[in-house]
Structure 1
């Protein structure tokens, strides 16, 4: 069978069942439109809240106090407002609890409230609260309860969090204080036991052993200097005569020896050296004596040389200094040896001391940070007590709605019309598939019998009349759809009678 014949057969069979399809479309549309206008009205209550954040006080407290960040505080309130405890408070404070019959219905109501109560930010500080219900007064009560909860949470939640933070800080401070005391006691006992081997602040962070080693090196250096100085004094003593013989016209031999001694000293020392200064003083004294005596010689037989005596006295002082340094060096060497022996008996001393100091430093740092946080909490608490960080203002209070916002009966009525027409079309397709009648010559030839030809229908006027009647039925259905949209609920009451008349 070709495509054209198949199409003609389906059209003919479908036209045969057109009244059944039209009847089904009328039934679906009538029942659907009645159901649409039987849907209860939905009323929406809404309100708007303005959260005024004190930005000036926030900038003053920045980096000084633990600021709750009012912007984040408002955001947190917005997100936690629809928590389960708050939804249960909404149910308890409104007539929603009358709808609760058992635990399952209560859970379903809480889930529905969490979905249907909407809190949407319109600007950074402006929020809109919406709720829909079939009862306009209940919708208004729910929105008003949510506003009250929002305001209560803004004032109580921050105080509760502040109190919790204070308790936590106090607990941690007590714990760290006990740990610090224990570590300080261990450090004190450790330092008392090994005070000679541990670094000390009195010695610039060095231990007593390090200080003794440094003192020993210093004393040895001083001893070498004193020995070198004694050698020089011995050379001077050997070069200086013990007595000075009297001589005429040749000048004072003491003055000559002193000047020679001065020249030798200037070759080795500077003008500020003590020996150079002493020799110059002696030369000046000898010249003064020569001037008073008029250049006369003393008694015969020679006189003691004062320079020799001075050098001899200085040599004696040098020997005494050397002996003292040697004694000090022996004492310090004994102390160093004792400390080194003690250090060898405790090889892990330095590591234990470092560990104790590290634990102490960590605990002290955390303790000081907690103290700073406690002060910040006190300042922040005072700021919240003396000033309103977040001031909530109901810009648009909720009112009892009068006009319903749903359901969208226009959309639903249109959907019912399309469903009715679709149901009629589907019924035609089904009946065409089940129809076993003969509509074309090809249907007869499928029986296996010879078919000589076909005779056209002699009733074209009747077919045109049926088409007009069917079109009128479709037109009446569309007119009923228009009447439904225009008449609304008033027409719904008369719709069953109208459908019955049409079907009759």
Structure 2
């Protein structure tokens, strides 16, 4: 630590010994810098405050029916884009600043001055915006601030109307596009259904479910047919039994056939005693006997049909039942054949069904998505139209100028006192740097400790006496240094006084040196 302190002291001694460079730097840089600062043109500031009221009674009432936007985001966007070339041109024309220029180059220079001097920022979260401008002309500063306010308000309201128009145009284009796509999807779906009508059962059940239902119907039809056929056979059996009973009741009646049958029977018995069954007489007698028996049976049946069996209520009901069951069986056989053909047809197309159903599902999905988007766009369009009507009936953002821009005759800048002091500090720093640099380039031994780094032994220290003249020379240099610095301080004070008094400053620098 002592070595560091000693080294710092050595540097300070070197700067002090080369202090003439401080005087040279300060006396060269300070007057030039102070004169430059004093001749800087005055800057006049004008400012205003604008309040943007984003409150609206209709917004809470129309919530959910209209498109809601955040007015603060719109205002922030306008604030960030206020210095774009288009807006700067609007401000220049609104403030009549463009009348003071004659060439495009001068106009671009004017736009650069407006961009560098204008400021638009939010003062707080209460939507209060401060507009300010710093320029050489107080009248022009006030006009530019007023023009900036006008452009800010117009851009905010115009941007909202532009956004609304663009949104409605975009929605109209999308609605037309989705309407075309919806028509194409409907036509494509209808054509597909028409081409594959045999494979598409309905929109509710699958093809496999339809095949299963067809098989169930066929099974039920077969079962019902078997039951009806069983009932028909049973009815026919009952009718046959009833007829036999009726015929047997008529068999007790004596006819001419009975006597002849009895005579043939006696003759047959006698022949069978004498001859074999293959004897021609035996065979002829049996044939005649069977013929007479058959004729008797037919005679009795005819008698039964004409003699009152048909009038039997039981037989009539049985015949009616048989007729009804016969018709039912015929109808059920037709139904069974139809169901069987339907099952065979569905079964034959079963291999093509998965692909058809997959394609149909895809078409239905595409159609449903397009339809949903179409109706959603229609709803958005209605919301946009209603929002536009709400904006037309009442402004979503209203502006009030809280502080009007004023013409300030007192300059707001530049900060000459600070700049004068800065020039002095920089000049002294440059002088110290020069002194340190020259002391390092041509070092001077100022103490015995400075010789330690050289390795030269120190045997003693000789003090300069008054007779040597060194003390007088050092005192003379000190007086010159102090007088020069005092004169510099006086000159600094003069410049401060001149720049503080605005009338003297304008008369001396603006009109004198500037003219």
Question: Scaled by the length of structure 2, what TM-score is found?
Answer: 0.68
Q: Are the aligned partners of 1:54 and 1:388 in contact in 2 as well (CA < 8 Å)? A: no
Instruction: Tell me by how many angstroms 1:380 deviates.
Output: 0.9
* Cα distance in 2 for residues equivalent to 1:371 and 1:453: 104
Shift of 1:305: 9.2
Mean Cα deviation higher: 393-402 or 64-73: 64-73
Residue correspondences, number: 432
Greater Rg over alpha carbons, structure: 2
Among 329, 342, 346, the alignment partner of 2:336 is 329
Deviation at 1:206, TM superposition (A): 5.8
| 1:185 has 2:184 as partner | no
Matches within 5 A, 1:355-366: 355-366=362-373
Q: Secondary structure at the match of 1:401?
A: coil
Are 2:95 and 1:84 aligned?
no
Of 347-356 and 91-100, deviating more is 91-100
Output the CA distance in 2 between the equivalents of 1:185 and 1:233.
Answer: 54
- Say if 2:37 is the partner of 1:29: no
The Cα shift of 1:86 comes to: 1.0
1:329-478, aligned counterparts within 5 Å?
329-338=336-345, 340-341=347-348, 348-429=355-436, 432=439, 456-458=464-466, 459=469, 460=471, 463-464=474-475, 466-478=477-489
- Matches for 1:231-242 after TM superposition, within 5 Å: 231=230, 242=242
Deviation at 1:468, TM superposition (A): 4.3
With over 3 angstroms needed to count, the CA separation of the structure-2 counterparts of 1:305 and 1:123, relative to structure 1, is same
Deviation track 1:208-239 (CA, whole Å, cap 9, x = no partner) reads x9657635522531441453466478779979
Unpaired segments ≥5 residues, structure 1: 246-303, 497-504
Tell whether the 8 Å contact from 1:5 to 1:440 is kept in structure 2 after alignment.
no
Tell me the SS of whatever aligns to 2:57: helix
Shift of 1:197: 2.4
The structure-2 alpha-carbon separation of the partners of 1:328 and 1:403, relative to structure 1 and needing over 3 Å to count, comes to same
Structure 1 residue 75, shift from structure 2 partner? 2.8
Please identify, of 44-53 and 78-87, the stretch whose mean Cα deviation from structure 2 is larger.
78-87
Q: Deviations over 1:130-170 (max 9, x none)?
A: 22112222222221111111121233222222222222222
Map residues 219-238 of structure 1 onto 2, 5 A cutoff: 219-225=218-224, 227-228=226-227, 231=230
Secondary structure at the counterpart of residue 200 of structure 1: coil
Q: Secondary structure at the match of 1:119?
A: strand
Gaps of 5+ in 2: 247-310, 510-515
Partner of 1:174: 176
Which residue of structure 2 aligns with residue 132 of structure 1? 134
1:217 aligns with 2:224: no
Aligned counterparts of 1:408 and 1:25: Cα–Cα separation in 2: 21
Q: Post-superposition shift, 1:393?
A: 1.6
Q: Deviation at 1:420?
A: 2.9
- Work out the CA distance in 1 between the residues paired with 2:182 and 2:343: 34
Higher deviation after alignment, 5-14 or 365-374: 5-14
Q: How far did 1:387 drift?
A: 1.4
User: Structure 1 residues 211 and 431 mapped into 2: Cα distance closer, same or farther (>3 Å)?
Assistant: closer
Cα pair distance change 1:417/1:137, threshold 3 Å: same
Match of 1:127, SS state, is strand
